[in-house]
Amino acid sequence: MPAIAKTSDEEILQAARALIEREGVANLSMQAVAEAVGIRAPSLYKRFADRATLLSAVERESFVTIRRVLERASASGTPRQALDEMARAYRRFAKGHPRLYEMLFSRSAPGGTDADRARAEASEPVLARMTELVGEDKALASTRVMNAFVHGFVSMENAGAFKLGPGVDDAFALGIATFLRSLTT
């Protein structure tokens, strides 16, 4: 009779995400993850071959989460309203998980991995609403520009780069509103 599992892959991934948020990806070890879920490291290696495999699974799960966040936000009214809300939801995710967010965009998954596919799928809700707003011919380019603005803004924000005083929320709102308005004028 096989031994009863003391943890699940989901619990392991949650523990790894929490450790990344607390200590950064550079400090993530298989031993620390195993301790966080109450198992010995050799048991962890039975589920995830190595640290890279675990990190790839964390990336995949995180991009799936981002997609869910964007899908919920995409239900907001008109395409423009939905895109505005998706940008805000994405920003909330990035600000709520700054070290995880940094990891997602500092590591590059080899093409064809589950994490790579999940990264591409995370953009689908934005691309769908953008297509409604600007049409299929301009949707991909417009989505890329919006993504570049939002990612750049939140990356700078998470790095503490906006030091000129208050108004960061207003600046973000202005940037998104200006971009979305420019698409249909």
What is the secondary structure of 130-152 as a DSSP string? HHHHH-HHHHHHHHHHHHHHHHH
In contact, 73 and 82? CB cutoff 8 Å: yes
Residue located via tokens 């609403």:
129
In tens, the pLDDT along 135-160 reads 999 999 999 999 999 999 999 999 99
pLDDT tier, 1 (very low <50, low <70, confident <90, very high otherwise): very low
Domain boundaries, the chain: 1-48, 62-183
What average pLDDT score do residues 65-70 get? Answer: 96
pLDDT tier, 108 (very low <50, low <70, confident <90, very high otherwise): low
CATH of 1-48, one of 1.10.1200, 1.25.10, 1.10.10, 1.20.1500: 1.10.10
Task: Please give the Cα distance from 151 to 91 (Å, whole number).
Answer: 8
CATH of 62-183, one of 1.20.120.1760, 2.70.98.60, 1.10.357.10, 3.40.50.300: 1.10.357.10
